[in-house]
Amino acid sequence: MQKRRLGQNLEVSALGLGCMGMSFAYGPPPDRQQMIALIRAAVEQGVTLFDTAEAYGPFTNEELVGEALEPVREQVVIATKFGFDFEPGVDAGQGGMNSRPEHIRKVAEASLKRLRTDHIDLFYQHRVDPDVPIEEVAGAVKELIAEGKVRHFGLSEPGVQTIRRAHAVQPVTAVQSEYSLWWRRPEQELLPALEELGIGLVPFSPLGKGFLTGKIDETTTFAPDDFRQIVPRFTPEARKANQALVDLLARIAEQKDATPAQVALAWLLAQKPWIAPIPGTTKPHRLEENLGAVELVLAPDDLREIEAAASRITVQGERYPEELERRTGV
């Protein structure tokens, strides 16, 4: 497995594993023991970056990841997140924002227990809290780093000015943001800022929440509790319109003896050497397929061909419902 460096000194596998879907968001959770086996299989295949959050469940995903990685804790990098308030019976993500310093410390202590570890490798603010100055957030994480409970500070879906202000207090190692061939807004401001500041990028949903794999079309039905049910980009009309992007990936994949998912991931890896995507999966064969993307080399001509064809495709539908989009990029 190839390695990549995030920030100044966090080395991770070129592809990580997003663990959210093992507990949350994409329909009924799969069998727990099967997911533990999948996480351990990823370790055996060289994956070292594992992404979770207290919000996934809430709490159950951290417990799963903690149990799965406990035997190999020193070989891996565990990323988790803070920033929400959870009350009994409240769905993850629907709780209020809370990045007050005392709450950050409380979340860190609870996450350490669930993850069965004495340190969090990468601690992200899950969403920017408009009620707490980012300098206070960065200061709270800085204290946790000084105490050895956290190793690195991250931000998820922040705006560029927030990144700069946070970075001035406590160096930001990584920013997590959606980024893929069908969500390219980070190229406008985010990527140049990260390059300037020496911060890594960890793209989530690098396969467009599954759409770029080619396994979803306008006739696909989702479970009632699947997050994609409320995503404008996943209406049947949008899926039909966006099929052109999948067709493009399929054409390139055929030329390369690869799959559309592998081309989508290889394209991301080719954008910058400090990008480490975290595709999620619950299926062992998909894990192997995704990891195969690391060996897929897209030549400059391939990248130009993809760019030229993609520029003629207008992706239909917003990536989030309006109330969730308002929580990003501030």
pLDDT at 87 over 80: no
* Per annotation, catalytic residue among 26, 56, 124, 179: 56
- Is residue 163 within 8 A of residue 170, CB to CB? The reply is no
pLDDT of residue 67: 98
Spatial separation of the C-alpha atoms in residues 303 and 311, rounded to whole Å: 12
In this model, does residue 330 exceed pLDDT 70? no
Q: At what angle do helices 101-114 and 60-69 cross, to 10 degrees?
A: 50
For position 149, what pLDDT does the model report? Answer: 98
Least confident piece of the model among 70-74, 81-85, 324-328: 324-328
pLDDT tens per residue, range 115-169: 999 999 999 999 999 999 999 999 999 999 999 999 999 999 999 999 999 999 9
pLDDT for 277 equals: 98
From the list 285, 155, 163, the residue with the least C-alpha distance to 213 is: 285
**pLDDT for res 320:** 87
306 has pLDDT over 70: yes
Mean pLDDT across the chain? 95
The domains of the chain, with CATH numbers, are: 3-325 (3.20.20.100)
Is 179 a residue of the active site?
no
